[in-house]
Amino acid sequence: MKTKLNKVQKLAVEANKGPVLIFAGAGSGKTKVLTEKIHHLIRLEKLKPENILSVTFTNKAAKEMKTRVMSLLKTKKLEVAIGTFHSICARLIRNEAKKIGLNPQFAIYDIQDQSDLYKVVLKELNISKDVITANQARNQISLLKNKMITPKDQLKKAKTVFEKKLTDIYRVYEEMLKQNSALDFDDLLLYPLKIFEDYPEILKKYQNLWKYVLVDEYQDTNKPQFLFLSYITKDHKNICVVGDDDQSIYGWRGAEISNILNFERLFPSCKIFTLEKNYRSTQQILDAATAVVSHNARRAEKKLIANNGEGEPLVLIETKDELEEADAIISALEKEIKLHKRTFNHFSILYRTNAQSRALEDSFRRTGIPYNLVGSIRFYERKEVKDALGYLKLVINLSDTISLRRIVNFPPRGIGMKTMDKCVAKAEEDNISLFEVLKNSKQLAIRGKQSDSLVSFYRLIKKYSGLQKKLNASELSRSLIEESGIIKYFRDSQEVENKDRYENILELLNSIDEFCLKNPKSTLSDFLEEVSLLTDIDNWNDSENRVTLMTVHSSKGLEFPVVFVSGLDDGLFPLFRTFENQDELEEERRLFYVAVTRARHKVFLLYATNRRRLGGENIIGLPSRFITEIPNEYLERVDFQSALTRRIVGGKLKKQAKLKVRRTVTTFDDFKVGDMVEHPIFGLGKIMVLSGTGENQRVGVVFKDGTKKKLIVKYANLTKLN
Catalytic residue positions? 30-31, 216-217, 247, 598
Residue 673 contacts residue 690 (beta carbons within 8 Å): yes
Residue among 257, 228, 225 at smallest CA distance from 244:
257
Q: What DSSP letter does each residue of 218-258 carry, written as one string?
A: GGG--HHHHHHHHHHTTTT--EEEEE-GGG---GGGT--TH
Does residue 411 have a cis bond before it (omega within 30 degrees)? yes
- Reported as type and span, the H/E element at residue 424 is helix 417-430
**Would you put residue 309 in left (φ > 0), alpha (ψ -120 to 50) or beta?**
left
Distance CA 68, CA 607 (A): 40
Distance CA 624, CA 17 (A): 46
The whole-angstrom distance between residue 380's C-alpha and the CA centroid of its chain comes to 13
Cite the beta strand spans of 258-377 per DSSP E. 271-275, 277-278, 305-306, 314-319, 347-351, 371-373
- Reported as type and span, the H/E element at residue 20 is strand 20-24
Neighbours of 127 (CB within 10 A): 17
Distance CA 582, CA 587 (A): 9
CA distances from 347 to 143, 371, 463, 707, 716 (A): 34, 10, 51, 19, 20
- Reported as type and span, the H/E element at residue 564 is strand 560-565
Distance CA 226, CA 208 (A): 19
Q: Give the count of alpha carbons within 13 A of 503, CB side only.
A: 5
Q: How far apart are the first and last CA of the chain?
A: 49
Q: Using N-to-C axis directions, what is the helix angle for 357-367 and 322-340, rounded to 10°?
A: 50
What is the dihedral sign for C-alpha 216, 222, 223, 225? negative
The whole-angstrom distance between residue 357's C-alpha and the CA centroid of its chain comes to 16
What is the dihedral sign for C-alpha 160, 162, 165, 167? negative
- Reported as type and span, the H/E element at residue 287 is helix 283-293
Residue 566 contacts residue 331 (beta carbons within 8 Å): no
Residue 364's SS3 state is helix
**Would you put residue 9 in left (φ > 0), alpha (ψ -120 to 50) or beta?**
alpha
Neighbours of 364 (CB within 10 A): 22
Distance CA 95, CA 195 (A): 11
Q: Give the count of alpha carbons within 13 A of 458, CB side only.
A: 17
Strand pairing report for 20-24 and 271-275: parallel
CA distances from 179 to 151, 172, 182, 328, 465 (A): 17, 10, 8, 54, 18
Q: What DSSP letter does each residue of 593-656 carry, written as one string?
A: HHHHTTEEEEEEEEEESEEE-TTS-EEE--B-HHHHTS-GGGEEEEEE-SSSEEEE--STT---
With a CB cutoff of 8 Å and minimum separation 6, the contacts of 59 are 83, 84, 87, 533, 534, 535, 538
What is the dihedral sign for C-alpha 35, 542, 342, 376? negative
Residue among 246, 293, 317 at smallest CA distance from 626:
293
Distance CA 237, CA 165 (A): 43
